[in-house]
Structure 1
Amino acid sequence: MPVQLRQLFAIMLHTCDLSQPMQVWEKHKDSLCEDFRHTAELMDGPVFNSDLIYNNALIIIEDIVLHMGGNHLSFFGKPGPQRQEQNGFAQGLFRDRNYNVAELTELIETNVPRLVADQRYAFDSIMSTVHEGRGGIFFLDAAGGTGKTFILNLLLARVRMDNKIAMAVASSGIAAILLKGGRTAHSTINLMATDSPMCGIKRGTDQGNLLKETKLIMWDKATMSHKRALETVD
């Protein structure tokens, strides 16, 4: 529920021209951060940093607004989140591992047996590669309405169920919203518009270290992107 609430708040900021967004945040911030608070209690016990929890939620909300083509939170009269470079790696791990394992397990146990033969083959092939750490590139191509997004979200859930990082990106903001924890590829991987494969992530940085920890990168609508973008990730 907090994930959906953050998405709703971001949509309201972007499309509804809220007259008092600060009051909305102050009134509902605990509900918007409920999952973060639960994770922090499991990790640190009853003593945890509430400001860090609120800040992480604001980062995600701002990212959603930006992915929809909107502005930073400061544009709406609300102080923007603190994106401190030295804490980027920790914040990234916190965000990308902040999932309810019990819910993910139930999702997998309920839906994987329902996959048809072709879907199950794709699911098992990709997960086998992830578990064995062999690396590889898979293209999932099928007609519209055949369950591609459904399989993508199941793959994300299966990796995250083991408390590992699965990065969900898409070539457009609309497509990214359909993936659990989805973000645009250009903002996540920091792709640069050049004639040669290049991204703005440097070795040893927080973003670079986070990518090293990532077990699966799921890129929806990849064929909409320039071939140089795909070569950069490869």
Structure 2
Amino acid sequence: MSEDAAHQLSQNRVQASNPLADIYISSYLLNELDKLLKDAGYCLSRFNLPLPDDTTNISGQNRLLLDELNYDVPAMTATLHDNLSMLNNNQKDVFDAIYNSMMNAEGQTFFVYGYGGTGKTFLWTTLLNSVRSKGKIALAVASSGIASLLLPWGRTPHSCFKIPLDISQSSMCSIKKNTHLAELIQKTSLIVWDEAPANHRYCFEALDRTLRDILSEIRQNAENKQFGGITVVLGGDFRQTLPVIHNATKAQILRSCIVNSYLWRQCKLLELTENMRLKSGNLSTLEREELSNFAEWLLRVGNGTEPIVSVPNDSSNSFIKIPESLLLSSDCRNLDGLISFVYDLGSEPANISSYLCQRAILAPTNEVVSDINTRIIAQLKTTEMSYYSSDSIDDSTANHSTLEALYPIEFLNTIPMPGLPDHKLHLKIGVPIMLFRNLDPSRGLCNGTRLIVTQLTNHVIEGEIITGKATGSKEYYINGIHYSP
């Protein structure tokens, strides 16, 4: 029986050197023996056998649970020891409050409030490693795919908890009882949700109702506890992006924030206030001063305390002055000047991945994006290839000829679609690209992942990941490309 359990572990790609593997095998064997003995009217204690460990007493067929235990515990423990010593006093207080709630099964809900640079991601990593190194389950999610890549084994909340895309006040997560996902949640000790202010409050309320329902089967009074009694940590900065609602007014957006949810009343607010970026030893005195001034100005903008300047013929009084140090010189304030400032295309950087990750141009519309891309790609000396989106109409439909006459393909290909790239895609080797889909989040391929094109063929694009936990991975291919010479 133990050999069978070991075989199931190997089938699920759990690391053989993981100390949790032996614990799991022992617990699995005891659990199976307990079932057989109970059928015969006996129990484990009758034969002086220990009870199985609840933490690892899981189904050998539950891939989700086995994946969550697929950690290199020795390496994680070594990293955790270093990270704990690097926490400042503010971070240590927050860490202790959350950790004690989780270890004592208090099931508190926390919101960690801190602006960029206060070390939230570092705190999440330390917290997750501390829980997982003890063999417990900790789920890490972030509001966007690119933000989830910053968390160890991070995912988006919609992917992890099956939150409906069309959310409403009475929505529930699509998690059925007695499923592998339900079993995973029942074994979970901690949930970390980063960038929480960007999600609609209905998402948190749907998860709350679902957890209460699922955990009520195994925990007494779970239906009356927030999030079913699981310790939940939300984090983010309300100065940044709030929930995006189509055609919503300011009042509607504010009402959709989590602070207006019934969950907020039982949420304990913790705050990070120390800017850890200023503590870097790689900064010169001048760089540290410039970074400090920029951070203070950014906080004033976020807090609404930066002085308003009047603009002729505009009565909105919603303009602020940008510091001169952040502006291009007057003769370079055009598109070509901006491209030259951000990307010095005549130079050959030693580390192209790091060079591109430190640079980006933010554009307001898809039209401007296409213009910038065309200008930059034209300056590269490598061979260009063009790819086209699928533009044929299914001819098996009864009204195929009518549709083709009403919607000519040539006309459809000229229509820019919000949120989608143009019909025609021009690429060269060495060009950075970004994914728009969650192809394989476990391997770092999700919405927002940036890659560098390393090879172009008729139907396949090969790229090297330059962001997230999978940085440097080269063997990633995007298939299904329509090519035209």
Measured against the shorter chain, the TM-score band is 0.5 to 0.7
Bigger radius of gyration, 1 or 2?
2
Q: Is the 8 A contact 1:89 1:209 kept in 2?
A: no
Q: Is the 8 A contact 2:163 2:173 kept in 1?
A: yes
Deviation at 1:143? Answer: 1.2
Q: Give the equivalent residue in structure 2 for 1:164.
A: 136
1-side partners of 2:134 and 2:146: how far apart?
A: 28
Deviation at 1:90? Answer: 1.7
Q: Is the 8 A contact 1:97 1:165 kept in 2?
A: yes
1:106 aligns with 2:78: yes
1:227 aligns with 2:204: no
Change (3 A) 1:40 1:107: closer
- Say which structure, 1 or 2, has more relative contact order (CA 8 Å, 6+ apart): 1
Deviation at 1:40? Answer: 7.6
TM normalised by structure 2 equals 0.31
Deviation at 1:37? Answer: 5.7
2-side partners of 1:130 and 1:207: how far apart?
A: 20
Q: Deviations over 1:16-69 (max 9, x none)?
A: xxxxxxxxxxxxxxxxx9x9463388638xxxxxxxxxxxxxxxxxxxxxxxxx
Equivalences for 1:166-205 in 2 at 5 Å? 166-192=138-164, 193-195=166-168, 196-205=170-179
1-side partners of 2:118 and 2:155: how far apart?
A: 23
Deviation at 1:231? Answer: 1.0
Q: How many residues align?
A: 159
Change (3 A) 1:41 1:119: closer
For 1:135, the aligned partner's letter is G
Equivalences for 1:25-174 in 2 at 5 Å? 36=13, 38-39=15-16, 43=21, 90-174=62-146
For 1:128, the aligned partner's letter is N
Deviation at 1:194? Answer: 3.0
For 1:106, the aligned partner's letter is A
Q: Is the 8 A contact 2:138 2:188 kept in 1?
A: yes
Greater strand fraction, Structure 1 or Structure 2: 2
Equivalences for 1:201-212 in 2 at 5 Å? 201-212=175-186
Deviation at 1:106? Answer: 1.1
Q: Percent identity?
A: 38
2-side partners of 1:41 and 1:111: how far apart?
A: 21
TM normalised by structure 1 equals 0.63
**Structure 1: stretches of 5+ with no match in the other structure:** 1-32, 45-86
Task: Flag as ranges the 4+ runs of structure 1 deviating above 2 A.
Answer: 35-44
**Structure 2: stretches of 5+ with no match in the other structure:** 1-9, 23-58, 209-485
1-side partners of 2:115 and 2:80: how far apart?
A: 24
SS at match of 1:39: coil
Q: Is the 8 A contact 2:14 2:69 kept in 1?
A: no
Alignment RMSD: 2.3
Change (3 A) 1:98 1:134: same
